[in-house]
Amino acid sequence: MVLPLLALLFAGLAAAETSSRVVLSPPLAQWKRDIEAAGKTTVVLARVFTDTARNELTLPDDVEFRPFLRKMLNDEAFVKQFVQTHAINVNSNTGLRPISVVLLNMARSADWEGQEDAVIAHELGHIWLHTRGYEAPQGLDGLSCVAVHAGDIVQHVLIREQMRARHIDYLPFWISSLEAALLQMDGRTVSNPQIADQCQHISRLALWVDVAVGLSDREWPRRQALLAGFRNRFPELKDRSDRIAAILRGRNLNQKVMYQKTLRSVLLNIH
């Protein structure tokens, strides 16, 4: 459920009741050290809680860079985006030094119970790419739906590759999310491209491509059922999905020139 959270409760709860501290597993701690070793950013992780009675976000007192994060969570556009996600990452600057923040939306923590490493690793992956110069595209307002999902489509290929290399098991959480998507899809009517929200279309397209190129039938036996569901429910997206998947397949995105070329091609084909 998306909550209309537009305010931050700065008083928070007592420190004994809630903490923003995130304890990283050894693979994640090493990845954080590797990112920071380049000297381009400081990685900050924070749990953001929800006061459901007051319909407000709460930021614990023990969070690092709290005044800076408070300003971030006061931005209405950012909050609207954040409450729809499990976690989000932001690369910014405090005025004294660059920081890369991973915010965990604890209102949705039940979704990732036992799989928090996968959620955090995904956000670290985006930060890792940013510090290596594999930039995501930017919209005019910095929150463009097209820019965000085009960047994700390309960057997710590299992030999954890196998580496998670091022995971070991301599949169980991803598959549980896809099972939920398949269940929801079974109850939907066929979409009407004239009525559907454009950002919703782009989000579905990004998920479709992710499943098509990033997952095998062996890894998830119900993969073909989800792909068939996409084709049946959202036929207006099929050609774009096929084109973008073809663009991604067989390309060495670790080569920065190829990464940038692929990103431009995805942006041209995502509309």
pLDDT at 9 over 80: no
What tens digit of pLDDT does each residue of 244-257 get? 999 999 999 999 99
- pTM for this one? 0.88
pLDDT at 2 over 70: no
10 band by pLDDT with thresholds 50, 70 and 90: very low
pLDDT at 137 over 90: no
Number of helices (H) and strands (E), helices first, in the chain? Answer: 10, 5
240 band by pLDDT with thresholds 50, 70 and 90: very high
Contact 227, 209 (CB under 8 A): no
In angstroms, what CA-CA distances link 177 with 105, 112, 212, 237?
16, 9, 15, 21
Contact 15, 22 (CB under 8 A): no
> Cα–Cα distance between 137 and 130 in angstroms, integer?
11
> At 35, phi and psi to the nearest 5?
-65, -45
**C-beta atoms surrounding 80 within 10 Å:** 14
Average per-residue pLDDT for the chain: 87
pLDDT at 231 over 80: yes
| pLDDT given at position 199 | 82
Exposed/middle/buried for 166, CB within 10 Å: 0-12, 13-18, 19+? middle
What tens digit of pLDDT does each residue of 108-131 get? 999 999 999 999 999 999 999 999
17 band by pLDDT with thresholds 50, 70 and 90: low
Q: Where do we find the tokens 């900050």?
A: 44
| pLDDT given at position 139 | 54
Termini Cα distance of the chain: 27
| pLDDT given at position 140 | 43
What tens digit of pLDDT does each residue of 202-221 get? 999 999 999 999 999 999 99
* Average pLDDT over every residue of 6-32: 70
Please name the residues in contact with 132: beta carbons below 8 A apart, sequence gap of 6 or more: 38
39 band by pLDDT with thresholds 50, 70 and 90: very high
- C-alpha closest to that of 8 among 45, 52, 72, 58: 58
- Sign of the torsion angle spanned by Cα atoms 129, 84, 211, 237: negative
DSSP-derived secondary structure letter, 238: H
**C-beta atoms surrounding 160 within 10 Å:** 21
201 band by pLDDT with thresholds 50, 70 and 90: confident
- Three-class SS of residue 220? coil
What tens digit of pLDDT does each residue of 57-110 get? 889 999 989 988 988 888 888 888 899 899 999 998 887 889 999 999 999 999
DSSP-derived secondary structure letter, 42: E
* Average pLDDT over every residue of 24-50: 96
> At 115, phi and psi to the nearest 5?
-130, 30
| pLDDT given at position 249 | 94
